[in-house]
Amino acid sequence: MIKCEESVEKIYKDFLSYQHREQGSITLYREHHVRYLLKALRSLPQVQQSLDASRPWLIYWIIQSLYLLNEKLSDAYVNEICDFLQRCQNPEGGVGGPGQIPHLAPTYAAVNALCILQSDRAYDVINREKLASWLRELRSSNGSFSLHIDGESDIRCQTYEGGFGAVPGCEAHGGYTFCGYATLLLLQRENLCDKDNLLRWTVNRQMEFEGGFQGRTNKLVDGCYSFWVGALFPLLDAAERKLEHTIVRDERMFDSVAAQEYVLLCSQSNLSGGFTDRPKANSHSSDLYHTCYCLSGLSLFQHSFNKNIICGNIENAVCETHPLFNIGPECAYDAMQHYKQLDASSSNQNESVNDN
């Protein structure tokens, strides 16, 4: 932890010394990131080719990052992505890597990726009837879900700290906490958890020195928790507003500027593009996972609550992301409208057949 703090301290001192505290000099290297992402969309570096089974995840991380950077994909790219994800879809429901069994995690990633594309071609890839049937097969009697048929169970349990762990007795973790609380919101059962304790745990994940977020108590700062923990603030706020409780809906629940400074100064690669978890000696250590969640967190820091807070120049602004789904708000809305209309049309056809 001390070594990490020393690396961050050097970056901040160098920045302050060189720029004389001119906040506007902080830069999001947008073009570098776009080049890095488009290159990865075509071919993976050799060191990442072992991630073949996670390719639906890689596609989601790439196109969500491009969306946040306001980079539009060509029709050719959209069609290729749809074709590939359709090949990854199992005839009996669910999505896996190429030639792999269906698995909940890449299924989630594939659905998100297809919704980001915002086209009928993408929406039609998802076999919702088979997907729903497959999901029902994964449900366990204790309320958890297996990640795949005959796989391990995965459940989110609130701990005494306030966050959620993977299973009873495990420590609270940023990723599990987001998944657990987001699930309760989707089910409209957020009242089942201790929200005050959850908020206390969440605000204490921002590191006092580094400005970024950690995922667990007494652990190192990590850029990916910019989203996993950062998204909890607007979600908790939304739950309180739903109940018409009074809550301060601005940046004061966390330091938005400090969080953005960590992402842009300590996680960002200004050479090869992309983002990483924390400063490293190897400046080319960016990866697609951290690129997606650093940019997603940056979006939340800039656009959540009552006003926009852009660290540095206005050119550093990224597009908004939905804190519950981590796709664009209009992407989520358009997908829901598409399937709502599809269901209405199907219902009308069934009624017409019955009348005859």
Catalytic residue among 30, 35, 121, 219: 219
Catalytic residue among 32, 33, 148, 173: 173
Q: Determine whether 343 is an active site residue.
A: no
Let me know how long the chain is: 356
Catalytic residue among 82, 224, 266, 292: 224
The whole-angstrom separation of Cα 23 and Cα 15 is: 10
The whole-angstrom separation of Cα 117 and Cα 196 is: 37
Q: Determine whether 287 is an active site residue.
A: yes
The whole-angstrom separation of Cα 312 and Cα 309 is: 9
Q: Determine whether 173 is an active site residue.
A: yes
Q: Is 95 helix (H, G, I), strand (E, B) or coil?
A: strand
The whole-angstrom separation of Cα 188 and Cα 94 is: 25
Q: Determine whether 52 is an active site residue.
A: no
Catalytic residue among 176, 225, 262, 293: 225
How far, in whole angstroms, is CA 340 from its chain's centroid?
Answer: 24
Q: Determine whether 290 is an active site residue.
A: yes
The whole-angstrom separation of Cα 206 and Cα 32 is: 28
Please state whether beta strands 164-165 and 145-146 pair in parallel, antiparallel, or not at all (unpaired): unpaired
Catalytic residue among 176, 195, 222, 278: 222
Q: Which residues are 145's β-sheet partners? A: 139, 154
Side chain identity at 309, as an amino acid letter?
Answer: I
Q: Determine whether 225 is an active site residue.
A: yes
The residue written with tokens 């940046």 in the block is 251
Catalytic residue among 195, 205, 287, 331: 287
Catalytic residue among 277, 292, 311, 331: 277
The whole-angstrom separation of Cα 44 and Cα 83 is: 18
Give the catalytic positions in this structure. Answer: 173, 216, 219, 222, 224-225, 277, 287, 290
